[in-house]
Amino acid sequence: MKVTEKIMGMETAIEILDDAKPQDVDAILEYFHTIDAVFSTYNKNSQLTRLNKGYLRLEDATPVVRKVLKLCEQTRLLTHGYFDSKIENHIDPSGLLKGFAIHEAAVQLEKKEYKNFYIEIGGDIEIHGHKNGQLWKVGLQNPVNKDSVIIVRLTDKGMATSGLAHTGLPIYNPITRKVASIYKSVTVIAVNAYEADRFSTTAYAMGVKALDFLEKTDNVEALIFERDGKEVMTSGFAQYL
């Protein structure tokens, strides 16, 4: 079973190769719509908007808001400030929100004993099991030379890409408070989509320090496209080719 829908303004896909129940897929889509409603920066009534305007206290927010912002703070400390959900007292957890939502959805499917599935929101994915007995294949397009596509083969992994070429939205370096622009994109493969998302955001914001950071981070590999389209990979990325 495969369904696609636009959620959070992005193409969303769920593909389950096991014998899937439609209500289980509907539950995941409903969860994504809930996350969108709670964290939308465009909806004046979302909890995130109300939090930023001072109409809602953090302690009165729903548990998922408190959980996501706690994860943001943990990531800020882990990355020495290169990941930061606060810009000039404005809270925006989008640097890990997609990955968080995807991974939470994957956990829900695992609890229902699904083994082989794929979840994607806006190009960020989590993959489990196999497709037709083989590793899942995912294409990574060079943002400069669009005819060049790198195929990666994955199972039980998350993958996320950050960068202006991928999202169309700027990512700020929290240390310099300037828009990060050293790379076209940074794609990270990690144990799940949450880890991949937060570390791809961090690495893109870091700029020239990204490769060293990624090499020193456990269970993470990455593909970086420089501004001229040149490919730079971490030492273990080739295992996915």
Provide the pLDDT for residue 145: 92
Provide the pLDDT for residue 172: 85
Domain, as residue range, for 52: 2-240
183-190 and 157-162 strand pairing = antiparallel
Provide the pLDDT for residue 80: 95
Distance separating the N- and C-terminal Cα atoms of the chain: 27
Provide the pLDDT for residue 151: 98
The CA distance from 84 to 93, in Å, is 8
Average pLDDT of each block of 10 consecutive residues along the chain (241 residues)? 94 97 97 97 95 96 98 97 91 96 98 98 97 96 94 98 73 87 94 98 95 97 96 98 97
The predicted-structure confidence for 112-152, as pLDDT tens digits, reads as follows 999 999 999 999 999 999 999 999 999 999 999 999 999 99
Say which amino acid occupies 198. R
The CA distance from 169 to 163, in Å, is 8
Q: How many CB atoms lie within 10 A of CB 64?
A: 17
Provide the pLDDT for residue 168: 56
Of 88, 84, 91, nearest to 50 (Cα)?
91
Provide the pLDDT for residue 179: 86
Stated as kind and residue range, the H or E segment containing 143 is none
- Domain total in the chain: 1
Q: What is the CATH number of the domain that holds 234?
A: 3.10.520.10
Provide the pLDDT for residue 87: 83
